[in-house]
Amino acid sequence: MSQILVNGLLTGGLYALVAVGFSLVWGVMNVVNIAHASYIMLGAYITYWLFHLYGLDPFLSIPVSMAALFLLGYAVGSLVLNRVVRFGLVMTLVLTFGIDMILQNGALLLWSADYRSITPAYAGQGLAAGGVMIPYVRLAVFVLAVLFVALFSLFLSRTRMGNAIKATALNPFAAELNGVRIQRVYALTYAIGAALAAAAGSMVSVVYTIHPQVGNVFLTRAFVITVLGGLGSIPGALLGGVILGLAESLATVTVGIGWSEAISFTLLVAILIVRPQGLLGKRFFGGVG
Amino acid sequence: MGDRALLVGRGVTRYFGGVAAVTDVDFEVREGEVLGLIGPNGAGKTTLMNLISGLIPLSKGEMVFDGRRLNGLGPWDVARLGIARTFQIVKPFAGMTLRENVALGAMFAREGRGVPARQALEVAAEVLETVGLGDRMNAHANELTIALRKRLELARALALKPRLLLLDEVMAGLNLKEIERLIELIRTINASGVTIVVIEHVMKAIMAISHRIVVLHYGRKIAEGTPEEVARDERVITAYLGRRFGQGKGA
Amino acid sequence: MNGSSMGRRGAGLILGAVVLAALVLPPFYLSGYWVRVITGLLMYGALASAINIMVGLAGYPALGNIVFFGTGAYTVAVLMVKADTPFFLALAVAGVVAAVYAALLGAAVLRLRGAYFSIATIGINHATSELVTNLDGLTGGGRGTIVPFFPGSIEAERMFFYFLMLALMLLATGTVYLISRNRLGYGLRAIKADEQAASVMGVNTTRYKVLAWTISAGLTGLVGGAYAYWLAFLEPPYVFDIVMSVKVYIMAILGGAGTVIGPVVGAFFLELLSELIWGRFLEAHMLVLGIVVVLVVLFVPRGFVDLAGRLARALAGGSASRRAEGVRSDG
């Protein structure tokens, strides 16, 4: 039982990081970013190739994948998304779906559908205590993921850029009147969302086998967690991530692994209907209701 | 104008998350009259109107329209019983012509009076004529000035062939000349047998058209009577102008 | 005035006859390959019309509407395989099952608006797909299921599915036409514009939305059922395919959501393009489709019908404004 809880908790930390960038983009730009799946996948592949070709430790390649996806995110945000944001949420949803198709199928052409995995020297080692086994890799991923979420939270509350993003999320018109350049904030927000996805992707590549569609599974989780934790809420993302991680871990041993997807989605629809404002009931970084 | 009550509210109360927006208000709207609903900002006027039209449910109390209890009915049921309304912030149907906007009312009119789409378009033309929009039938609402949009909103409500018409600040944002024309129009509508409840901030206008006035303050009814009676009421003067002016006798 | 409307009616009749001929004649003259391609176009035309009822008329972005396609497909498959049900009976049941499914879901899910509704429908699609996969005793699960083959020659089969899909497309498009000319259509357009205003104008918004989704789902379920028999082999990912769902959605937008004929035009255009891309870039097919999706959103967000209308107005613009000038100086 405690093994199940530990597994759930460890997974939950990664889920929170997966969700936080997605939640940010939705909360600030009102964009449901389907391409988040591809950004996770690209982050995973960058780490995979750097390890495979140059022997770079997967944890050290996280800054590289983040930087690369930041640039890609900025380009997509400023060149494509900014033109369409005014058409509303459904159009941008479809647009990012198209971008996701391009990136995913591009990856499929370049790297084939083969399953790949990273096995650093320390891959099999771990801590064993009280009948619970904790692999070092998963522990490191958990700690790093939570650290990234915390750093991101600090960035939003302590920096000028972070404050501009928050102000834009609360009221774009007021922010603009106060000299915030909305288009630039949107591009940056989108870029940061992509960079966070990349960090999550890099970590995904250490724990799971990867393939061009690897991001889709995590996009589902991001959806569920965002809805569960509330739009743009960081504590919500952490809480939602852990709840989902635990729920899946429990579902795997009780009803079988085949049902966990069905459960996730049913949960998603149920929460949307019953509590569209999320469990914590706060919209956007604990801001106004 | 008879003394028969068309709409009666008893103990009408509405909370928003613990805060009372309308508290224990008793009121009646008499058949054929124009009833003014006034009160300072936040007095609960629009909430009361939303309660009548069924957009939000009552927390407590009951409302009876022509012998039928309104509690628990959806806004569409209320509309089909013969209660139509306009919104303070006009809500024209984008993507429809003026004629289609108004035809919608005729299609879903009072029970048994709704007509098929084709016929409704004919009715719409007539109604638009009566509010003075006959020459713009095929325009879209976003091409209209604010004054004309208010007329469109009125036309749409009229197409429902209502027995009771609720007007939520139809005069806000209009100039004097436009207000005069609108007052004229409201009187004509009333004369044709439609009972009317108006919320209005333009005090001169509401005094001119109302037969009776109900005053709300912080969600409670503080006065009721003819325009003259209400204008002399101490509590009303206090509510509007502050305590200093109202200390004479009552409060 | 009368003369011109008479002329218009005449032109309409001629156009209708040409369109009818264009729809009925192909299977008698074209090669098997092209008949199959056009059968696909007709299927997408039907699906785009069905989703149009939700997206274009009611303004509810039912992005996961493919769930009813899958539901219909599996209803036909299970009935034919497990109960030896004749195809047309199974097809009718498929339509009903999909419609009832939407009606049951609708009361709860249609309280959500915009992207929340979209995501809920996507969630329902995935959950249903997983359910079908897990009920493998009934559905064959992830291994898929073989639907009984059409009993007849290849030519007969070709004709059968061509005319079946044609009938379904005409049914779906005809339904949109009827709805948009009736109370239901006006009510739905009012809901799309402003739900609150619609409700105080006497539109029972809850009932209308559920009704719209029920009709849309029923039509989608019929098409899915026909597809199951046509394809003869089903797997959950084939018929609960979110990419297909978004494709249909894009078709409706591309042609002109809310218009009667637009979604069909969009479906024909995109599916034909898709077919040409498919042949030319077998590998990159999906990638190119993604690019098309992005280009549509960027450059034709309101659809061909709107584009054509604006072009026509721009061309007629000069003379129209001159006429207006004339009227003003008269008065």
The pLDDT tens digits of the residues spanning B150-166 come to: 889 999 999 999 999 99
- DSSP states along B80-111: HHTEEE--SS----TTSBHHHHHHHHHHT-TT
Residue A286: band (very low, low, confident or very high) from pLDDT cuts 50, 70, 90: very low
Cα–Cα distance measured from residue B128 to residue B133, given in angstroms and rounded to the nearest whole number: 5
Contact (CB, 8 A) for A229 and A12: no
Which segment of B146-150, B194-198, B213-217, C58-62 scores lowest on mean pLDDT?
B146-150
Strand order in the sheet with B34-38: B83-85, B164-168, B195-199, B34-38, B212-217, B220-225
Say if residue B93's pLDDT is above 70.
Answer: yes
The DSSP bridge partners found for residue B97 are B140
- Chain C contact present for A257, CB below 8 A: no
Q: So what's the pLDDT on residue C21?
A: 86
- DSSP states along B20-47: EEEEEEEEEEETT-EEEEE-STTSSHHH
Say if residue B225's pLDDT is above 70.
Answer: yes
Number of other residues whose CB lies within 10 A of the CB of residue A160: 7
Say if residue A200's pLDDT is above 90.
Answer: yes
Cα–Cα distance measured from residue B141 to residue A145, given in angstroms and rounded to the nearest whole number: 52
Is residue C52 a part of any domain in this protein?
Answer: yes
Q: How far is B18 from chain C (nearest CA, A)?
A: 24
Cα-Cα-Cα-Cα dihedral sign, residues A73, A74, A76, A82: positive
Residue C282: band (very low, low, confident or very high) from pLDDT cuts 50, 70, 90: low
Cα–Cα distance measured from residue B219 to residue C45, given in angstroms and rounded to the nearest whole number: 55
Chain B residue at shortest CA distance from C178: B117
Q: Which amino acid is at C229?
A: Y
Which segment of A177-191, B52-66, C16-30 scores lowest on mean pLDDT?
C16-30
Helix or strand run (H / E) with residue C121: helix C114-134
Q: So what's the pLDDT on residue B1?
A: 57
Q: How many residues are listed for chain A in this entry?
A: 289
Say if residue A56's pLDDT is above 60.
Answer: yes
Output helix, strand, coil percentages for chain A, rounded to the nearest 5: 75, 5, 20
A2-274 has which CATH code? 1.10.3470
Q: Give the count of Cβ contacts less than 8 A between chain B and C.
A: 84
Spell out the residues 6+ positions from residue B46 whose beta carbon is closer than 8 angstroms to its own.
B88, B168, B199
Cα–Cα distance measured from residue B94 to residue B104, given in angstroms and rounded to the nearest whole number: 13
Q: Print the domain residue range for B168.
A: 5-82+162-246
Q: How far is C57 from chain A (nearest CA, A)?
A: 15
pLDDT digits (tens, 9 = 90+) for C196-227: 999 999 999 999 999 999 999 999 999 999 99
Distances in Å between the Cα of A93 and the Cα atoms of A227, C69, C115, C124 are 16, 22, 8, 17
Angle between helices C32-52 and C205-231 (to 10 degrees): 160
Chains in touch with B (3+ beta-carbon pairs under 8 Å) read: C
Q: So what's the pLDDT on residue A280?
A: 57
* Residue B83 backbone phi and psi in degrees, to 5: -115, 115
Burial class (CB in 10 A: 0-12, 13-18, 19+), A205: buried
Is residue C321 a part of any domain in this protein?
Answer: no
Is residue C77 a part of any domain in this protein?
Answer: yes
Q: So what's the pLDDT on residue C277?
A: 74
Cα–Cα distance measured from residue B128 to residue B108, given in angstroms and rounded to the nearest whole number: 17
Chain A residue at shortest CA distance from C109: A273
Q: How far is C142 from chain B (nearest CA, A)?
A: 45
Spell out the residues 6+ positions from residue A197 whose beta carbon is closer than 8 angstroms to its own.
A18, A21, A22, A36, A39, A40, A43, A69
Contact (CB, 8 A) for C228 and C72: yes
For residues A235-257, average pLDDT: 83
**Contacts with B116 from chain C: Cβ below 8 Å:** 182-183
Top residue of C178, C181, C200 to mutate, by most chain B CBs within 10 Å, is C200
Q: So what's the pLDDT on residue B115?
A: 81
Q: Total structural domains in chain C?
A: 1
Q: How many residues are listed for chain B in this entry?
A: 251
Chain C residue at shortest CA distance from A224: C123
Instruction: Please indicate whether residue A66 or residue C302 has the higher confidence score (pLDDT).
Output: A66
% pLDDT > 70, chain B = 94
Nearest CB neighbour to C186, from listed B74, B104, B156: B104
Paired tokens of B86? 């306009």
Q: What is the dihedral of CA A102, A107, A109, A114, to 10 degrees?
A: -140
Chain-centroid distance, C-alpha C49: 3
Q: Do A80 and C289 touch (CB under 8 A)?
A: no
Structural domain spans, chain A: 2-274
Spell out the residues 6+ positions from residue A33 whose beta carbon is closer than 8 angstroms to its own.
A22, A25, A26, A96, A190, A193
- Chain B contact present for C111, CB below 8 A: no
Spell out the residues 6+ positions from residue C96 whose beta carbon is closer than 8 angstroms to its own.
C218, C221
Is residue C306 a part of any domain in this protein?
Answer: no
Query: Between residues 192 and 211 of chain C, which touch chain B (CB distance below 8 Å)?
Result: 192-194, 196-206
The DSSP bridge partners found for residue B83 are B164
Q: Total structural domains in chain B?
A: 1
Contact (CB, 8 A) for C181 and C28: no
Q: So what's the pLDDT on residue A121?
A: 79
Distances in Å between the Cα of A173 and the Cα atoms of A146, A170, A182, A187, C114 are 33, 9, 9, 17, 21
Q: So what's the pLDDT on residue C303?
A: 82
Q: So what's the pLDDT on residue B94?
A: 87
Q: How far is C194 from chain B (nearest CA, A)?
A: 6
Angle between helices A36-54 and A89-111 (to 10 degrees): 20
Most confidently modeled range among A131-140, B118-127, C183-192, C283-292: C183-192
Q: What angle do CA A13, A14, A18 make, to 5 degrees?
A: 120
Contact (CB, 8 A) for A166 and A287: yes
pLDDT digits (tens, 9 = 90+) for C25-67: 888 888 888 999 999 999 999 999 999 999 999 999 998 999 9
pTM to 2 decimal places: 0.85
Is residue B10 a part of any domain in this protein?
Answer: yes
For residues A159-180, average pLDDT: 86
Cα–Cα distance measured from residue B102 to residue A263, given in angstroms and rounded to the nearest whole number: 47
% pLDDT > 70, chain C = 92
**Using the 8-state DSSP alphabet, how is residue C54 labeled?**
I
Closest to C212 measured CA to CA, from C2, C327, C65: C65
Q: Do C131 and A89 touch (CB under 8 A)?
A: no
Chain B residue at shortest CA distance from C184: B117
Contact (CB, 8 A) for B45 and B37: yes
Distances in Å between the Cα of A201 and the Cα atoms of A13, A53, C123, C184, C210 are 13, 18, 23, 48, 40
Q: Do B76 and C205 touch (CB under 8 A)?
A: yes
Contact (CB, 8 A) for C87 and C152: no
Q: So what's the pLDDT on residue B103?
A: 93
Burial class (CB in 10 A: 0-12, 13-18, 19+), C131: middle
Report chain A's mean pLDDT, rounded to a whole number.
86
**Contacts with B96 from chain C: Cβ below 8 Å:** 189-190, 193
Distances in Å between the Cα of C37 and the Cα atoms of C27, C150, C227, C251, C287 are 11, 19, 13, 16, 21
Closest to A10 measured CA to CA, from A207, A257, A180: A207
Which CATH number fits the domain that encloses residue B166?
A: 3.40.50.300
Closest to A44 measured CA to CA, from A58, A33, A56: A58
